[in-house]
């Protein structure tokens, strides 16, 4: 059962994640209220801040689409609500006191909104606006202007003024993934040396989780690229970054899990064959280079790092260790491919990554 301190730590993490969007929503809502009251001279332009908040609420990716959905939903809800007031004008029983009538108004508004697609916010706004118009006599067609103000403020804030940079969204998750691979390689090196180090299974699970987090952020960045002005203006560079990390992150995760599995099988083997000579030192050197590559994710990485030579530095070894060396070679090749693609260089042809002809040392050849 989670402790109070753990629950508070989770709450703090959620606060940090939502803080910027909450502040943005509050500012936009206040500005929308002020602007609507100035332009339309409404004393309580409630639809303006509501529309702005719905457009900019935390956790929403397609804010441009959200703003359009809000405008359509509010307009349909107000139209249906006003029509219902006109039809039942003079009725002895108010609309809001007749549950069948109220249900019919909500259904009509939401069905009408669904004609434009199953956008959840659009349907919600249509039903809610119909209820508000039916119950508040002061709300009417003029409130469409309030909603338009709120939606336009939401578009201005999300599409132009405060759009996040998709490249800055991907970089931290990519750095975390590469660092977790470096951690795994170091743990594997310690296991080969003295059976110490962190659990390899824990490292593999962490890598798998980091791959999923990176994939989620890539999808979010792709959404921003499609639905924001800033994303469209820098679409080419974002597309290159997405094309680099989307397939490569999956392959990296798969290679890391397979490497862990093959290494554990080799360590548990009863054949008594020692690991390849200097394999632990090679793993440490690869981890160090991976950390250098990970650190460059804070900036626009332009250095093409070579990793495949680490695998080729492994000499002849017993057959039980061949699968381990093969998966390590594949992992190095994936890291090198990402590095070259991200730096904008064409990856040079490399020798068979499974070749076990050892060079004189494990130094860094060619590009750094």
In the block, tokens 């390590």 appear at: 328
139: Cβ contacts below 8 Å, ≥ 6 apart: 46, 47, 78, 81, 132, 133
Kindly give the parts of the chain with pLDDT less than 50: 92, 348-368
pLDDT confidence of residue 299? 60
Specify the DSSP element, H or E, that contains 148. helix 143-155
CB 235 within 8 A of CB 186: no
pLDDT digits (tens, 9 = 90+) for 169-216: 888 888 899 999 999 999 999 888 876 656 788 888 889 999 998 998
Residue 109 to residue 79: CA distance in whole angstroms: 8
SS3 state at 234: coil
83: Cβ contacts below 8 Å, ≥ 6 apart: none
CB 133 within 8 A of CB 78: yes
Look up residue 91 and give its two tokens: 């009725």
Residue 253 to residue 208: CA distance in whole angstroms: 6
pLDDT confidence of residue 363? 43
pLDDT digits (tens, 9 = 90+) for 249-258: 999 999 999 9
CB 218 within 8 A of CB 242: yes
Pick from 313, 167, 138: which is nearest to 240 by CA?
167
Residues of the chain with CATH 1.20.58: 166-343
Instruction: Give the DSSP letter string of 294-362.
Output: HHGGGS--------HHHHHT-----GGGHHHHHHHHHHHHHHHHHHHHHHT-PPPP---TT-----S--
Pick from 278, 263, 254: which is nearest to 199 by CA?
263
Instruction: Give the DSSP letter string of 210-221.
Output: HHHHHHHHHHHH
pLDDT confidence of residue 345? 59
pLDDT confidence of residue 96? 57
Q: Please state, as a whole number, how many other Cβ atoms lie within 10 Å of the Cβ of residue 221.
A: 25
Residue 203 to residue 177: CA distance in whole angstroms: 11
CB 353 within 8 A of CB 336: no
Q: What is the DSSP letter of 269?
A: -
265: Cβ contacts below 8 Å, ≥ 6 apart: 323
279: Cβ contacts below 8 Å, ≥ 6 apart: 189, 192, 314, 317, 321
Name the CATH code of domain 166-343 (choices 2.40.128, 1.20.58, 2.60.40, 3.40.50). Answer: 1.20.58
pLDDT confidence of residue 298? 64
Residue 85 to residue 135: CA distance in whole angstroms: 9
Longest dimension (CA), the chain: 97
Alpha carbon dihedral 349, 352, 354, 355, in 10-degree steps, equals: -120
């Amino acid at each position: 059962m989670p402790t109070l301190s753990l629950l508070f730590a989770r709450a703090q993490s959620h606060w940090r994640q939502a803080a910027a969007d909450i502040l943005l929503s509050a500012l936009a809502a206040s500005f929308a209220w002020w602007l609507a009251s100035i332009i339309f001279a409404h004393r309580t332009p409630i639809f303006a801040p509501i529309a702005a908040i719905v457009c900019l609420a935390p956790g929403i990716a397609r804010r441009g689409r959200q703003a359009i959905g809000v405008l359509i939903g509010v307009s349909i809800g107000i139209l249906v609500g006003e029509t219902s007031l006109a039809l039942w004008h003079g009725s002895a029983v108010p609309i809001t006191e007749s549950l069948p009538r109220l249900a019919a108004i909500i259904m009509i508004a939401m069905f009408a909104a669904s004609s434009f697609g199953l956008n959840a916010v659009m349907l919600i706004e249509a039903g809610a606006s119909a209820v508000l118009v039916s119950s508040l006599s002061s709300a009417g067609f003029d409130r469409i202007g309030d909603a338009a103000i709120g939606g336009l403020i939401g578009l201005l804030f999300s599409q132009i003024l405060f759009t996040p940079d998709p490249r800055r969204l991907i970089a931290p998750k990519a750095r975390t993934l590469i660092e977790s691979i470096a951690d795994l390689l170091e743990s594997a090196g310690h296991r080969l040396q003295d059976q110490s180090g962190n659990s390899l299974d824990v490292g593999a699970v962490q890598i798998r989780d980091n791959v999923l987090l990176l994939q989620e952020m890539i999808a979010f960045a792709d959404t921003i690229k499609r639905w924001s002005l800033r994303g469209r203006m820098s679409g080419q560079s974002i597309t290159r970054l997405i094309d680099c990390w989307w397939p490569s992150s999956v392959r990296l995760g798969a290679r890391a899990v397979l490497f862990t599995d093959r290494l554990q099988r080799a360590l548990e083997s009863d054949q008594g064959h020692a690991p390849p000579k200097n394999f632990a030192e090679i793993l440490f050197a690869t981890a160090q280079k991976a950390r250098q590559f990970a650190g460059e994710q804070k900036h626009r990485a332009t250095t093409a790092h070579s990793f495949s030579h680490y695998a080729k530095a492994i000499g002849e070894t017993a057959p039980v260790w061949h699968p381990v060396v093969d998966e390590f070679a594949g992992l190095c090749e994936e890291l090198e491919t990402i590095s070259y693609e991200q730096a904008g260089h064409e990856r040079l042809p490399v020798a068979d990554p499974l070749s076990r002809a050892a060079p004189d040392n494990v130094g860094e050849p060619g590009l750094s």
